[in-house]
Amino acid sequence: MAGARVLVAGATGRVGGAVVRRFAAAGAEVVVHGRGGSAAALAARTAADHGVTTHAVTADLTDDDGPARLRAELVAAGVDRLDVLVNCTTGYDGEPRPAAQLTVQEFRDLLDIDVVGAFALVTAVLPLLAAAGNGRVVLLSSLAGVRGRPAAPHLCAAKAGVAGLTLALAHDLAADGVRVNCVAPGPVQDPAHPHTGPLGPGVVPTSADEVAGCVLALASDLTTALNGHLQVVNGGRP
């Protein structure tokens, strides 16, 4: 990935941070998207640790003017093309919530962040991806959107929506030379954040670094034959 320009949205979360580290270790120039000071701190730390160029952007894509603000931030940073876009943003808080305990507004809010936000992000930077000549998009879904999960109807619906969006964008953006694929991890945990929610059959937690490895593979030239692909990361369980 040396010389590639990569935008990681939602970079300050556990998975997003692991994705940033993976791309930086592979020599990519990384645009870190997240909340204000956190994004700037991660960008500075990544540049220091890996000796690569980084930028920080903070536009809130759930705002009506978010896409325009993101484009303006990229222009200000001198980013005139993007080779890779990875979207790790999510509004899911990880708390189990059965349907009877979930409000309609909470359901809408998660779909707005995870599905509408993903669409807004891709369309906002599409000209930069097309300018690269071989742009690649990797969206983050979830095993919950493929198999379902108890006590998370909003998560299951939102992540199934991201998977469907991946298929639609793969068709629509192919003419621009942009490939769109999706990674669907199971529960992600690390020693400091053990998973405590219910798990379905054949589901085991995985690490953020394992998820990031799959993202890197789908964004690299090793997978040029894949478009509209959903890759499940299930802890090695079928």
pLDDT in tens, 133-190: 999 999 999 999 998 888 999 999 999 999 999 999 999 999 999 999 999 998 888 7
For residue 238, what pLDDT band results from cuts at 50, 70 and 90?
low
Q: Spell out the SS3 assignment of the chain.
A: CCCCEEEEECCCCHHHHHHHHHHHHCCCEEEEECCHHHHHHHHHHHHHHHCCCEEEECCCCCCCCHHHHHHHHHHHCCCCCCCEEEECCCCCCCCCCCHHHCCHHHHHHHHHHHHHHHHHHHHHHHHHHHHHCCCEEEEECCCHHHHCCCCCHHHHHHHHHHHHHHHHHHHHHHHHCCEEEEEEECCECECCECCCCCCCCCCCCECHHHHHHHHHHHHCHHHCCCCCCEEEECCCCC
Q: Quote the mean pLDDT of the chain.
A: 94
pTM of the predicted protein model: 0.96
Q: What percent of the chain has pLDDT over 90?
A: 84
In the predicted model, is pLDDT for residue 198 greater than 90?
A: no
pLDDT in tens, 48-107: 999 999 999 999 988 999 999 999 999 999 999 999 999 999 999 988 899 999 999 999
